[in-house]
A and B are shown apart, each in its own frame.
Chain A
Amino acid sequence: MSSIEEIQKGLAEIVEEVAGVAADDVSVDKSFVDDLDIDSLSMVEIAVQAEDKFGVKIPDDELANLKTVGDAVNYIASNA
């Protein structure tokens, strides 16, 4: 089980790899779409990589609810 900090750091690395957003900018209060300019195609890539990295399942209907980085970190922490 990863800590909240480890999840946030690992997620930020994925977002940087997929979408080119600097990891330091991937903070919990940021919206994937509105703040980080990440489109739906990249969100699918990010979700698949997060599933592999954290050993969690992110079904499509859950993915749609993950609006902010914080939403994703909390979901992963609760379901990993």
Chain B
Amino acid sequence: MTTNDVVVTGLGATTPLGGDVESTWEGLLAGRSGIAPLEFDWVEKFELPAKIAAQLAVEPTETLPRVEARRLDRCEQVAMVAARQAWADSGHSEDTVDLERLGVVIGTGIGGAITLLHQDDLLETAGLRKVSPLTVPMLMPNGPAAHVGLDLKARAGVHAPVSACASGAEALAWAWRMLRSGEADVVVAGGAEACITAIPVAGFCQARTMSTRNDDPTRASRPFDIGRDGFVLGEGAGIMVLERADFAAARGAKVYGRLAGIGTSSDGYHITAADPEGIGQSRAIAAALRNAGVDPIDIGHVNCHATSTPVGDVIEPQAVRRAIGDHPVLTAPKGNLGHLLGAAGAVEAIATVLSIRDSVIPATLNLENLDPKVQLDVVSGEPRKMHLTAAVNNSFGFGGHNVSLVFTSA
């Protein structure tokens, strides 16, 4: 390990499987599903084809003070909950880092859609006076990053990458760059999303990307399975505390592992569809391996982006084979979690780190009949015990954004 290395020293999450990292990880290993019917009246009102979602296991208002919660959009609430967990887990305080050397990078795919829609309703029905003065800070996509930055008094820079479903991973990549370039000693980074409301669901349904297996919610999200029919929308947040290895060592911090390298690319192909051969995806993976200085043969595991869509799931394995080879063992946590959009990459990066730490890869929930086009070893049924020294986590987003992260053991 060199002084320039980036290590993971804190983890935080709130997801459809649990209100923290431990319960989420336990849920992944136990093969639990976070998906259930949507109880909102707008589902029937608009006759939405998708009537299921992966909603939070623990409401953020259970832990946030009432006045703070009312000033935050739901996506900001989940960011705050996960960031405070990660910060506490890292052992940091205001005294352990020069605040001018502390950064925050938190991405979101959609931002404060619930606020935007609610305030528009108020404007239409009750007029200007009823529109909240907090509307803009609640709906802006940099809101989650800004609020966490303010909470921590971070002054090295607060950033909010927006790249659809790659946003959370892109935030970790951005944090890695800040640390490697010497802009910061510590960066709190990840993704947040909470947009389970009528118009995002309607829009995704119209794009024909969502599962309509409404009568069997827990089996609806089934990455790599031949019977998959689309993704299931989820909500949540995942946050990591990343810091320079020498800085972490000097304060005697507990280290989960290393974010050894990051790779990003863009497809230049289509606004929603991935390049069918996965060329852009494999370029991102290859770049991450190069940045990490890790030989492809040492990558034992890939935590996949696979969302359970018929088209997308068969592209990523091609990219993995091209960039890494046939040997990595794959899993896809969206079978349990649903698709957390801008939080997905961050939550799944946490799972990747924990797979290395605990030498175990969770099974892909609902993978019963592997699509024959996926010619790789995908864990199904039970978690697989496996010693890992290095693993890859992939995230891809509408717009052709590809982000690949390489994690290694501590």
Contact = CB atoms under 8 A, between A and B. Distances in A.
Interface residues of B, number: 10
A5 to B, nearest CB: 25
A51 B133 contact: no
A45 B133 contact: yes
A40 B134 CA distance: 10
Interface in B114-141: 129-130, 132-134, 137
B67 A19 contact: yes
A44 B71 CA distance: 13
Q: Output the residue of A18, A19, A41, A51 with the most chain B CB within 10 A.
A: A41
Nearest to A44: B133
B372 interface: no
A42 to B, nearest CB: 8
A72 B68 CA distance: 24
B45 interface: no
Interface in A17-46: 18-20, 40-42, 44-45
Given A19-B67, A20-B65, A20-B67, A45 B132 contact: yes
B80 to A, nearest CB: 16
Contacts of A45: 132-134
B66 A20 contact: yes
A48 interface: yes
Interface in B62-81: 65-68
Contacts, number: 18
A41 B134 contact: yes
Nearest to A21: B67
Contacts of A20: 65-68
A48 to B, nearest CB: 6
A60 to B, nearest CB: 12
Interface string B34-75: 000000000000000000000000000000011110000000
Contacts of A18: 67
Contact of A41 (B66, B130, B133): B133
Contact of A48 (B67, B68, B130, B137): B130
A18 B67 CA distance: 7
A42 B129 CA distance: 14
A45 B67 CA distance: 13
Q: Is the interface of B mostly helix, strand, loop or mixed?
A: helix
Contacts of B65: 20
Contact of A51 (B67, B68, B129, B132): B129
Nearest to B70: A18
Contacts of B66: 20
A48 B129 contact: yes
A52 to B, nearest CB: 9
A10 B410 CA distance: 58
A41 B130 CA distance: 13
Contacts of B137: 41
A20 B65 CA distance: 9
Contacts of B68: 20
Contacts of A40: 133
Contacts of B129: 48, 51
Contacts of A51: 129
Nearest to B68: A20
Q: Output the residue of B65, B132, B133, B134 with the most chain A CB within 10 A.
A: B133
A72 to B, nearest CB: 17
Nearest to A16: B67
A20 B66 CA distance: 8
Contacts of A41: 133-134, 137
Nearest to B128: A48
A36 to B, nearest CB: 12
Interface in A44-64: 44-45, 48, 51
A44 B128 CA distance: 12
A20 B68 CA distance: 9
Interface in B311-338: none
A44 B75 CA distance: 24
Contacts of A48: 129-130
Interface of B: 65-68, 129-130, 132-134, 137
18 contacts: A18-B67, A19-B67, A20-B65, A20-B66, A20-B67, A20-B68, A40-B133, A41-B133, A41-B134, A41-B137, A42-B133, A44-B133, A45-B132, A45-B133, A45-B134, A48-B129, A48-B130, A51-B129
